[in-house]
Amino acid sequence: MSYIPHTKKIALVDCNSFYVSCERLFKPCILKKPVVVLSNNDGCIISRSSEAKALGIKMGDPYFKAKEIIIKNGVYVFSSNYSLYGDISRRVMRILKYLVPNIEIYSIDEAFLDLSSMPNNMIPSFGKKIRDTILQWVGIPTSIGIAKTKTLSKIANHIAKKQKSGIVNLIGIENIDLILEKIKINDIWGVGRQTSKFYVKHGINNAKQLKNMSSNWIKNNSNVLAARTAMELRGISCIDLEAYQAKRGSCCVSRSFGKKVESFHTLAESIASHSLNAAEKIRSESLLAKTITIFIRTSLFQDKKIFYSNSRTIDFPIATDNSIEIVKNALGGLKSIFKKDYKYQKTGIILSGLLDSEKTHNLFSSPKENRIKSLMKSIDYTNYRYGRSTLSLADAGLNKKWNIRRKYSSKIDTADFDCLPIIKVN
């Protein structure tokens, strides 16, 4: 008996206007209202509700540019709240892993699912189950696109966002040219701005035209990525699911200040805080850092005569995830590059040369180092349970006046009891 392989069936689950949806979780009164979320320091618009899109508010527009429309139409504005968004994202991804073992987390609000083993007739109802479960358990609305390849599932998802059901299934549709004809070339996953300009110049304006272009023309006029995209549009899977996520090689934590900073003490607080966050991140992934880089700079838009930017890289004697050691070296590096009489706008640290702690053994480890590891575990557990910075180092400060500007913050953190909304019952 010959083996007949399963046709690949890939679902893309995408949370609708994710940052906006997270803010709406605790404010049901704004469910049908126009809402936008701003980037760091309340700079640009990075998430919009469908109602805000209908008003002509564009993605990436500076807040000041859209302020007139926002005020005129009573648009609700929120500063970005990444601790909230990260926690909600983890909840959504846990549900997806529970429902489908083989998944690839593509971004904070997107994941590819492998449904290849599922019979075609069960796929629509299973897609509805995924959508209903996430909405019921977390409260986040999603769109789901299902197709034979990742690229086609992206297109299906693009269409699903505009449909009431929120689900589009292209499995079993033999001729999808009518669908692809409506997809602009710049809306295809993997086709960048310059590539789309090249295609348009050669009369390729939509996904159908790219799909039906001869392989020889693509080979002679473009690159391997373009050929792969065309094959995916034809229903031939060329991009595998990356269920296993390789561990990162570096970890960067940086922030621009809400207002410019001159004092060394304030810069030191920010560097210490960034170092603690980075150390916590690498410990959560069982990694050790070999090197730390500290950088500071003034505004890029200042006069060149008063612009200053510098960095310092320090190698650890032994790869470490010890917050105390990392902060100590970071502050030492800051002292060597700090200059007085400058108004600094941004600081950051990069931990690099990351190693897998489970595969790295130190022959010279001492009982003291083992005690420090236990201390780090205790700190991480406490901060996970009671909220970030519940336990911290004095070097990171308490008030953090240097922090980013968040004038419109909802101040909700589902990982911190003190930042949970209070519901009053009559």
pLDDT in tens, 363-374: 555 566 667 777
- Reference 59, options 81, 38, 88; nearest CA is 38
The answer to whether 326 and 272 have CB atoms below 8 angstroms apart is no
- If the chain, 426 residues long, is cut into consecutive pieces of 10 residues, what is the mean pLDDT of each piece? 62 96 92 92 91 94 92 94 90 96 93 94 95 96 96 96 93 90 92 89 92 88 87 91 78 86 90 90 90 92 78 92 91 94 91 83 60 75 65 65 70 69 64
- Reference 22, options 418, 422, 413; nearest CA is 413
Q: What does the pLDDT read at residue 186?
A: 92
β-strand 250-261 against 344-352: which pairing, if any?
antiparallel
Tokens found for residue 329: 């070296």
d(Cα 202, Cα 197) in Å, to the nearest integer? 9
Q: What does the pLDDT read at residue 3?
A: 39
Q: What does the pLDDT read at residue 304?
A: 64
- Reference 209, options 189, 180, 235; nearest CA is 180
Indicate the helix (H) or strand (E) that contains 335: helix 323-337
Q: Map out the domains of the chain with their CATH numbers.
A: 1-173 (3.30.70.270), 175-245 (1.10.150.20), 250-396 (3.30.1490.100)
**Angle formed at CA 245 by CA 241 and CA 246, multiple of 5 degrees:** 125
Environment class of residue 117 by beta-carbon count within 10 Å: exposed (0-12), middle (13-18) or buried (19+)?
A: exposed
Q: What does the pLDDT read at residue 2?
A: 41
Tell me the pTM. Answer: 0.78
Q: What does the pLDDT read at residue 258?
A: 77
